[in-house]
């Protein structure tokens, strides 16, 4: 199965929302910004100090937790995008985190499991809604502790056999990632083990 890195959940590019939705006052000095064509698009630029606001995709992680020929999916709650549908454990990277720490945290919060991150198996761009553009690092992981139960953002969390029928999936990217992982024996790129395990509270790494 060939790799795929870009997934559209709505027609592209004519329905893509490129309108400015950033803060209209300068985050550096507080002056009101003007709009100017910069770097291929309209940007807010401060006439007082020259600071420019760029609109960037949000970094996120998704985690494929496999055990033999089975894997974990979570069912999204009513307050989530694509509620009621199933997906890999996933979430956004917080400012103070690296992507591996974010993956361990998201799995813990959503499934109550502790995992070891094994490899980076893909990096994908998701256009989920006209205003939701995420750049997702997809990682494989193994369970090292905990008991599987649904947590933040999920109403259910279950093991599914790859040879069985998939539930209704929230994201096309997840279905493709799972299929490619099992059909190609995908190993992925190794990760730095310093960051691959859960961190002790209050301990940071340089």
Same structural domain, 176 and 140: yes
Contact 170, 122 (CB under 8 A): no
Contact 146, 28 (CB under 8 A): no
pLDDT in tens, 37-69: 888 778 889 999 999 888 889 999 999 999 999
Q: What is the DSSP letter of 179?
A: H
Same structural domain, 80 and 131: yes
90: tokens are 């996933």
pLDDT in tens, 82-128: 889 999 999 999 999 999 999 999 999 999 999 999 999 999 999 88
Same structural domain, 75 and 127: yes
* CATH number, domain containing residue 85: 3.90.79.10
Asked whether residue 171 is assigned to any structural domain, the reply reads yes
Q: Among the three residues 55, 72, 99, which one is the final residue of a domain in this structure? A: 55
Which structural domain range is residue 144 located in? 58-186
Asked whether residue 121 is assigned to any structural domain, the reply reads yes
Same structural domain, 88 and 123: yes
Cα separation, 63 vs 81, in Å, equals: 18
Cα separation, 86 vs 171, in Å, equals: 8
Same structural domain, 70 and 169: yes
pLDDT in tens, 169-198: 999 999 999 999 999 988 899 998 888 777
Does the pTM surpass 0.75? The reply is yes
Same structural domain, 41 and 65: no
Asked whether residue 197 is assigned to any structural domain, the reply reads no
Structural domain count of the chain: 2
């Amino acid at each position: 199965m060939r790799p795929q890195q870009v997934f559209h959940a709505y027609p592209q590019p004519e329905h893509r929302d490129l309108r400015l939705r950033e803060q209209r006052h300068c985050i550096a000095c507080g002056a009101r910004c003007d709009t100017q064509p910069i770097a291929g698009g309209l940007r807010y630029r401060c006439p007082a100090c020259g600071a420019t606001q760029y609109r960037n995709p949000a970094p996120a992680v998704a985690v494929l937790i496999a055990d033999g020929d089975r894997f974990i999916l979570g069912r999204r709650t009513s307050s989530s995008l694509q509620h009621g549908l199933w997906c890999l454990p996933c979430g956004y990277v917080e400012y103070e985190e690296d992507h591996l720490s974010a993956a361990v945290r998201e799995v813990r919060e959503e499934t109550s499991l502790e995992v070891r991150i094994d490899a980076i198996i893909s990096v994908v761009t998701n256009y989920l809604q006209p205003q939701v553009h995420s750049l997702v690092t997809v990682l494989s992981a193994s369970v090292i502790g905990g008991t599987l139960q649904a947590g933040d953002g999920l109403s259910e969390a279950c093991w599914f056999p790859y040879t069985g029928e998939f539930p209704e999936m929230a994201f096309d990217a997840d279905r493709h990632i799972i299929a490619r992982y099992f059909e190609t024996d995908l190993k992925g790129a190794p990760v730095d083990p310093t960051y691959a395990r859960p961190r002790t509270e209050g301990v940071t790494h340089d």
